[in-house]
Amino acid sequence: MIFEQIATGGCQSYLVGCEATRAAVLIDPELSRIDRYLGLCAQHGLSVKYVADTHTHADHFSASHELGKALGTPIVMHRFAPSPYADLRLDDGDMLVVGELRLKSLYTPGHTRDSMSLVMEDRVFTGDALLIGGTGRTDLPSGDPHQLYESLFDKLLKLPPQTLVFPAHDYKGRSHSTIGIEIAENPRLQKTDRVEFMAMMLALDLAAPTHLTEALRTNMSGGKTVAQLLSEAAAKVPFMAQADLKERLGSNSRDLVILDIREKEAFDAGHVPGAIHLPRGQLELRVNSELTDPTVRILTCCEFGKISTLAAATLRELGYGRAVALDGGMKAWREARYPLET
C-alpha cells in the first residue's frame, strides 16, 4: 500500500494507493494543497480513481470539486451529502474498489448527518466522528450528539482494538492512534453512558470555526471561495511592482493610465499622483466614457491589491488587452512612503 498523510494546519488528508495497479483514492483533500496531491500522485505514479469526502466540512475548503473536474474522477460522499457535485453516493457498507484495495463505508453520523468513516485493511479513516483524544463537535448544522454516541459506541469502537485511526483533523501534530488507545485514553469516550455523553457534548460551548459560512457555502454548492476567485483573476493579468510605478512617476511617460478603483473618500485621502478615479462598483458602467482608448496601458490599484486584480481581469475581458494590476495596494504604497496626491 502506498500511503501519504498530508497535513494542512489541523486538517488531515490522505492519498492511498494500490502498489500493484497504481490506482489511488484521495480522502478529504484540502483546496490549497491541490498541487501537493498532484505532485505526490506523479511521484508515486498513481492514478486517482476516487476523491472522497468523509463529510461536508464546515471549517475548511474541500478540493474535491476542483480535483474531480481536473482529473475527471468521481467524487464520493455519503448519500445524505447535500453537495450537488457528489457523483457516487455511498450507503452504509458500500465498498470502493481501488485496484487491490477495498474501502468500506461505515455510516457514522453525529458530527454531521452525512458523516461516514472508511475502513480499509488495518485502518479506518474516521473523518470528524472520532479524533485523537476527542470527537467531532455536534453543534454545527446537521450535527446530533445522539447519532454521534451511536456512531462511536455501536460502530467505531467495535472495530478491532489494533485498528489504526486516521482522523480528518489533528491540531497537535499527531498522525494517528488506534481504537484501543482511544477507548482507554480519549476523555470523551470515558462517558460511556448516553445521558452523560449527551450532557458533555451539549455543554462544550465551542467557538464557531473560522470560515464557517464560506466553507459551508462552497462545500455544499461547489461554488468558489473568494481566494479562488482572486487566484483565477491573478492568472489572467500581469502585475507591476510598486517601485517600478514610482520610477515612472518622474519620467513624464504618458503611456500609462493609473486607475484607482477605491471609493471616493479613500481616493481623496491620498492616491498615486496623476491617478484617475473610477470606483470598482461603477467600472463596467463608465468604462466606455472614462477609458476611450482600449490600446492604452492601464494600471489598476486599490487598497490591498486584491480588488485591483479582479478589476484588471475584467478590463482584459472587456478588451483592454494591456491592463495590469499594481502588486500590492495603496496601503503598501503609503508604508513605502511613496508620493501621494490629495
Question: Residue with C-alpha cell 462545500?
Answer: 219
30 binds Fe ion (CB under 5 A): no
- 8 Å CB contact between 22 and 45: yes
Question: Counting contacts by CB under 5 A, is residue 303 touching Fe ion?
Answer: no
- Closer by beta carbon to Fe ion, 128 or else 170: 128
Distance of alpha carbon 29 from alpha carbon 288, whole angstroms: 44
Rank residues 57 and 306 by Cβ distance to Fe ion and give the closer one.
57
Q: What distance in Å separates the CA atoms of residue 3 and residue 232, rounded to the nearest whole number?
A: 31
Nearer to Fe ion, 128 or 182 (CB): 128
Task: Indicate the burial class of 183 (C-beta count within 10 angstroms; 0-12, 13-18, 19 or more).
Answer: middle
For position 28 contacting Fe ion by CB under 5 A, the verdict is no
Q: Residue 5 corresponds to which cell in the numbers above?
A: 498523510
Distance in Å, CB of 206 to Fe ion, minimum? 12
Number of residues binding to Fe ion, judged by CB under 5 A:
2
Nearest residue to 49 (alpha-carbon basis) of 86, 96, 12: 96
Q: Which of residues 217-276 bind Fe ion (CB under 5 A)?
A: none
Question: Does residue 128 belong to the site contacting Fe ion (CB under 5 A)?
Answer: yes
Minimum Å gap between C-beta 125 and Fe ion is 13
Our CB check for Fe ion shows the closer of 141 and 321 to be 141
CB burial of residue 143 (10 Å; 0-12, 13-18, 19+): buried
Residue nearest to Fe ion (CB): 128
> Restricting to residues 38-67, which ones interact with Fe ion according to CB under 5 A?
57
- Residue 114: CB minimum distance to Fe ion, A: 10
Specify the stretch interacting with Fe ion by CB under 5 A; choose among 34-42, 127-135, 268-276, 327-335. 127-135
Give yes or no for a contact between 149 and 108, defined as CB atoms under 8 angstroms apart.
no
Q: Where does this chain bind Fe ion (CB under 5 A)?
A: 57, 128
